[in-house]
Chain A
Amino acid sequence: MPWPETQAIRKDMPVSFRRKDLLGIADLTPEEIQLILDTAVSFKEILTREIKKVPTLRGKTVVTLFYEPSTRTRTSFEIAAKRLSADTVNLSISASSVVKGETLGDTADNLEAMRPDIIIIRHSASGAPHFLATRLKSSIVNAGDGLHEHPTQALLDLLTVREAKGRLDGLKIAIIGDIAHSRVARSDIQGFIKMGSQVTVCGPGPMLPPYLEALGTKVSRSLPEAVAGADVVMMLRLQLERQQQMYFSTLREYARFFGLSLAHLKLAREDALVMHPGPLNRGVEIAPEVADGPQSVILDQVTNGVAVRMAILYLLTGGEPSGTAH
C-alpha cells in the first residue's frame, strides 16, 4: 500500500505548502524548504522498492517544456512524475524554431488549453517561468531559467548534504566556478544560507559579479582559501564558450587554479563532500580521481533529484493522496 507514507507526510507537516508554483528558492521560507526535504525523504523509500510506483498523481498531467537541451533534469522530472503515476508529455523546443515560431505566451496558452496540471519549464531567458506563472492556471515548476534559478537542483543539493551530514546549519559550503552565469549557484547560495550554512564562492574574477557579498556569501579569489576547512565543496560546470567572452584565460590555467584536485581537496575537512551538478568536464573543473573518489556524492545528487522532484510534484498538486485534489 502506498498511502501510509504519503499520509504520514501530511501528519508530520510542520507547515503547509500552499504555492501554485515553484519558481525559485528566493520565494521559499526555511520551513517550506524543510517540508520539501522531509517529503523527499519519505519518497526516497519508494525508489528502493521493487515496484517503484505509487498512484499519488494518477489522472494528473505533467508537461515538460524544455527550450534548452537537457538530459538529466528532464529525465529526472519524467521519472519522478511516472513514479507518482502522472501522465507525462515531453516537449522539446529548439531555440531556432522559437525564432521563427510562436511566442512563449502563445505556446503556453495552447498548452494550458489542454488542461495540464503541472508545466515544468526550462528556458534560456531568466524569468520565463514567472512569465508563465502569471499567465496560466497550471502549476509552473522552474527547471532552470537563464542565469536566474534552478530551484530543484538546489533542493536536491540540500537534501544530499543534509543526508550525509545530518544537518545544514553551521556547515561551511564552498561553491567554485562561474558564479556569474550559474543558476545553480544562485539557487544554492540562497538555499544554503536560508538553512543556516555559511557559503563562500570562488572563481576567476570575471566570473564573480559585483554585489555577491550582498547575498550573504563570502567571496574568495583563491581556491585553496575557499575550500580550507569546508564541509562541502561544490564545483560548477565550466561553459567552454566563456573563454571567447574573456571570462577566463585558458582551459589549462583554469584547471590548475580553479579545478578541484586531490591536493586542493586535502585542504577541506577530512569528511568534506564533493558535489557537482553535472555534466562534468573531467579534468577541467574537477580531477577524475576527485569526481570518482570516496568523498564524491555526485551520483547521490542524481538519485536525490528524483526524490526531490517527486516531493515538488506531490506538494504542488495539493498533497492529496488521490487523484481528486483541487
Chain B
Amino acid sequence: MGLLIKGGMVVDPSQALEDQRDVLIDTGRISALEPPGVIPPDGHQVIEASNLVISPGLIDMHVHFREPGEEYKETMASGGQAAAAGGFTAVATMPNTRPVNDNAALTSYILAKARQAGGPRVYPVAAISQGSQGEKLAEYGDLQAAGAVALSDDGRPVTNPQLMRRALEYARNFGMLIISHCEDLHLSGSGVMHEGLVSLQLGLIGIPAAAEEVMVFRDLTLARLTGGRLHIAHVSTAGSVALIRQAKASGLPVTAETAPHYFSLTDEAVRGFNTNAKMYPPLRQAEDVAAIREGLADGTIDCIATDHAPHSSLEKDVEFAVAAKGIIGLETSLGLTLKLVQEGVLSLKAAIERLSTAPARILEVPGGSLAPGAAADVTLIDPNLTWQVEVNKFKSKSRNSPFQGWELPGRAVMTIVGGEIIYTEGGR
C-alpha cells in the first residue's frame, strides 16, 4: 500500500513542472507522478491536497543543533521537530558543537542521534580544521566515510589564507564542498552589529560590510587558484552579492546562500537593543537587503538557508554587547520566503528551487525532486494560510526569533521523509 497525494499543485523546479499532479509514494520513493485522476486510488492511503502546493521536501543546508554540548538550547530531536514543522525534510548541521565535529566518531554520534529522533534527514557538516582552531586540517576522508557531506569552520572563520587554500585543495581528493563563513575577524573586531548609522546612534561597535567582503573576495580567489568547490554561507552585503555575481560570470563554480533575515530585516531591528536582532553576519542596511533580494532573484544566490542558531534566555536576556549571536529560523523560513513571492521578488517555483532543489544540488544529496524514482521527501504547503508567528508555539527549544508577531503568508501543513509523514500541521 502506498501514499497517494491527490488534487494538489505540484511545483517541482527539477522538472520545470508547475501543474496539477497526483503523487504516488511507495517504499520510500516517488513511484508515480500523473495528471489528476490517472493513478487509481486502489488500496492507497489518500492525502487530499486540493488548494495545496506539493513541493519536493525543503532542505536547510545551514543549521546549528547544539547536540552534543548545549542540549538545553536544542537537540537533534527538538531541532528535527522544528525543521519538520517548518517543512524541512533535511538539514545540514554545522560542526560547532561541543566538542566540535571534527572526527568520524562525533559524526557517527550525530547521525545516530538523528536516527533515534526519526525526524528529517540529517547531513553533518564537519570542521575544516581540527577543533575549528584554524591550524591543522581535519580528517576529511574519514569524516566523509562516516557521513559528513561538507566542511566548514562556521562561526570560527578561517583566518589563515594558507589554511583555506590547503582545505580547498585537500577537499578535492574527496569531492567535498567547503562552506565558508566569510568574516575577517580583525576587521569585525569587537563589533556587535552592522557598522552604520544605527550602530553610531546606539553606541554599539560596528562590523563593517568590508569584514565580509574582503573574505568573500579572498575565498573566491582561492577557489579559482585551487579548483576547490566553494560555497559562501549567509551572504549579507550588496558588495558580496556583486563579487559572487562577477565570479559566476567568469565561470567559477561557486555557490552561495543567504538567510531569511538578510532579505527581511535591516539593522533598524537592533533599535531598543533587541538581542534577537543580533547575529553574525549582522543585519545590514536597506541597500544590502535590496541587493540580497536581487541576488536571490537572478540566481547569484543559489539557495536560502536559515543559520538556525538556538540560544536560551541565559544568552539572550542580557546586555546587547554580551548577548550570544544568532537566531532561530527553521519555523519561519518558508513563510518569510513566501512573503518574497507575495512581494513579487521570486516566483513560487523559484522560491521552492532556492529552498529545495538548489541545496540538494549543492550538497549532492537526495531530494529536491518529485520525479519518479526520487526519494519520497515531500512538503505540502498551504500558500493561502496566513498565520502569526508565536515563538511560544515553536517546536524548537529556543525562542530567539526577531519575527515574533509577524504575519506570514503560507506554511507547511505536512512533511514527508522517505514516504513517512513526520509532521502534520494542527494534527491534520
Considering only residues 104-131 of chain A, those with a C-beta below 8 Å from chain B are: 104-105, 123-128, 130-131
Contact of A125 among B196, B317, B319 (CB under 8 A): B319
The answer to whether residues A148 and B319 also contact, given A209-B195, A210-B196 and a CB cut-off of 8 A, is no
Asked whether, in the complex, the Cβ of B272 is within 8 Å of the Cβ of A186, the reply is: no
Asked whether, in the complex, the Cβ of A211 is within 8 Å of the Cβ of B203, the reply is: no
Q: Which residues of A contact B17 (CB under 8 A)?
A: none
Q: How far is the CB of B88 from chain A (nearest CB, A)?
A: 34
Q: CB of B204 within 8 A of chain A? A: yes
Asked whether, in the complex, the Cβ of B201 is within 8 Å of the Cβ of A126, the reply is: no
Q: Which residues of A contact B205 (CB under 8 A)?
A: 147
Asked whether, in the complex, the Cβ of B201 is within 8 Å of the Cβ of A26, the reply is: yes
Q: CB of A205 within 8 A of chain B? A: no
Q: Which residues of B contact A28 (CB under 8 A)?
A: none
Q: CB of B385 within 8 A of chain A? A: no
What is the interface size of chain A, counting residues whose CB is below 8 A from a CB of the partner? 25
Contact of B203 among A103, A183, A210, A214 (CB under 8 A): A183
Q: Which residues of A contact B105 (CB under 8 A)?
A: none
Asked whether, in the complex, the Cβ of A145 is within 8 Å of the Cβ of B318, the reply is: no
Q: CB of B320 within 8 A of chain A? A: yes
The answer to whether residues A128 and B319 also contact, given A147-B205, A209-B195, A210-B195 and a CB cut-off of 8 A, is yes
Contact of A211 among B196, B318, B320 (CB under 8 A): B196
Asked whether, in the complex, the Cβ of B200 is within 8 Å of the Cβ of A127, the reply is: no
Q: How far is the CB of B127 from chain A (nearest CB, A)?
A: 29
Asked whether, in the complex, the Cβ of B273 is within 8 Å of the Cβ of A126, the reply is: yes
Q: CB of A215 within 8 A of chain B? A: yes
Q: CB of A54 within 8 A of chain B? A: no
Asked whether, in the complex, the Cβ of A148 is within 8 Å of the Cβ of B322, the reply is: no
Q: Taking CB as reference atom, which chain B residue is nearest A124?
A: B321
Contact of B204 among A147, A214, A215 (CB under 8 A): A147
A149 vs B200: C-alpha distance when bound (angstroms): 11
Q: Taking CB as reference atom, which chain B residue is nearest A148?
A: B203
Q: Which residues of A contact B203 (CB under 8 A)?
A: 126, 145-149, 183, 186
Q: CB of A212 within 8 A of chain B? A: yes
A186 vs B318: C-alpha distance when bound (angstroms): 23
The answer to whether residues A104 and B195 also contact, given A126-B202, A147-B205, A215-B201 and a CB cut-off of 8 A, is no
Asked whether, in the complex, the Cβ of A209 is within 8 Å of the Cβ of B320, the reply is: no
Q: Taking CB as reference atom, which chain A residue is nearest B205?
A: A147
Asked whether, in the complex, the Cβ of A148 is within 8 Å of the Cβ of B204, the reply is: yes
Asked whether, in the complex, the Cβ of A214 is within 8 Å of the Cβ of B197, the reply is: yes
| Mask of B189-214 contacts with A, CB within 8 angstroms, 1/0 | 00000011101111111100000000
A209 vs B320: C-alpha distance when bound (angstroms): 20
A57 vs B321: C-alpha distance when bound (angstroms): 35
Q: Which residues of B contact A214 (CB under 8 A)?
A: 197, 200
Q: Which residues of B contact A148 (CB under 8 A)?
A: 202-204
Q: Taking CB as reference atom, which chain A residue is nearest B196?
A: A211
Q: Which residues of B contact A26 (CB under 8 A)?
A: 201
Q: Which residues of A contact B273 (CB under 8 A)?
A: 126-127, 130-131
Asked whether, in the complex, the Cβ of A105 is within 8 Å of the Cβ of B206, the reply is: no
Asked whether, in the complex, the Cβ of B322 is within 8 Å of the Cβ of A125, the reply is: yes
The answer to whether residues A126 and B320 also contact, given A26-B201, A148-B203, A186-B201 and a CB cut-off of 8 A, is yes
A215 vs B321: C-alpha distance when bound (angstroms): 23
The answer to whether residues A209 and B206 also contact, given A127-B273, A130-B272, A214-B197 and a CB cut-off of 8 A, is yes
Q: Which residues of A contact B202 (CB under 8 A)?
A: 126-127, 148
Q: Which residues of A contact B196 (CB under 8 A)?
A: 210-211
A131 vs B206: C-alpha distance when bound (angstroms): 20
Q: Taking CB as reference atom, which chain B residue is nearest A182?
A: B203
Considering only residues 310-329 of chain B, those with a C-beta below 8 Å from chain A are: 317-322
The answer to whether residues A126 and B197 also contact, given A104-B319, A105-B318 and a CB cut-off of 8 A, is no
Q: How far is the CB of B204 from chain A (nearest CB, A)?
A: 5
Q: Which residues of A contact B201 (CB under 8 A)?
A: 26, 186, 215
Q: Which residues of A contact B319 (CB under 8 A)?
A: 104, 123, 125, 127-128, 131
Q: Which residues of A contact B320 (CB under 8 A)?
A: 125-127
Considering only residues 262-308 of chain B, those with a C-beta below 8 Å from chain A are: 272-273
Q: Which residues of B contact A127 (CB under 8 A)?
A: 202, 204, 273, 319-321
Q: Which residues of B contact A104 (CB under 8 A)?
A: 318-319
Considering only residues 22-69 of chain A, those with a C-beta below 8 Å from chain B are: 26
| Mask of A194-232 contacts with B, CB within 8 angstroms, 1/0 | 000000000000000111101100000000000000000
A104 vs B206: C-alpha distance when bound (angstroms): 23
Q: How far is the CB of B141 from chain A (nearest CB, A)?
A: 42
Q: Taking CB as reference atom, which chain B residue is nearest A186?
A: B203
Q: Which residues of A contact B199 (CB under 8 A)?
A: 209
Q: Which residues of B contact A210 (CB under 8 A)?
A: 195-196, 200
A147 vs B203: C-alpha distance when bound (angstroms): 4
Considering only residues 164-202 of chain A, those with a C-beta below 8 Å from chain B are: 183, 186
Q: How far is the CB of B198 from chain A (nearest CB, A)?
A: 9
A214 vs B199: C-alpha distance when bound (angstroms): 12
Q: How far is the CB of B335 from chain A (nearest CB, A)?
A: 27
A294 vs B205: C-alpha distance when bound (angstroms): 38
A105 vs B315: C-alpha distance when bound (angstroms): 12
A146 vs B204: C-alpha distance when bound (angstroms): 8
Q: How far is the CB of A191 from chain B (nearest CB, A)?
A: 14
A215 vs B205: C-alpha distance when bound (angstroms): 17
A183 vs B201: C-alpha distance when bound (angstroms): 10
A127 vs B203: C-alpha distance when bound (angstroms): 9
Considering only residues 224-243 of chain A, those with a C-beta below 8 Å from chain B are: none
Q: Taking CB as reference atom, which chain B residue is nearest A125?
A: B319
Asked whether, in the complex, the Cβ of A105 is within 8 Å of the Cβ of B321, the reply is: no
Q: Which residues of B contact A183 (CB under 8 A)?
A: 203
A148 vs B192: C-alpha distance when bound (angstroms): 13
Q: Which residues of B contact A103 (CB under 8 A)?
A: 317-318
A149 vs B322: C-alpha distance when bound (angstroms): 18
A212 vs B321: C-alpha distance when bound (angstroms): 22
Residue from B195, B199, B202 whose CB has the most chain A CB atoms within 10 Å: B202
A126 vs B321: C-alpha distance when bound (angstroms): 7
A145 vs B202: C-alpha distance when bound (angstroms): 10
Q: How far is the CB of A237 from chain B (nearest CB, A)?
A: 16
Considering only residues 67-114 of chain A, those with a C-beta below 8 Å from chain B are: 103-105
B→A interface (CB under 8 Å)? 195-197, 199-206, 272-273, 317-322
A→B interface (CB under 8 Å)? 26, 103-105, 123-128, 130-131, 145-149, 183, 186, 209-212, 214-215
Given contacts A126-B321, A148-B203, 5 further A-B contacts (CB under 8 A): A104-B319, A126-B203, A131-B273, A186-B203, A210-B200
* Nearest 3 interchain pairs by C-beta: A148-B203, A127-B273, A125-B319
Q: List 16 A-B contacts (CB under 8 A).
A: A103-B318, A104-B318, A127-B202, A127-B320, A127-B321, A130-B273, A145-B203, A148-B202, A148-B203, A148-B204, A186-B200, A186-B201, A209-B195, A209-B200, A211-B197, A215-B197
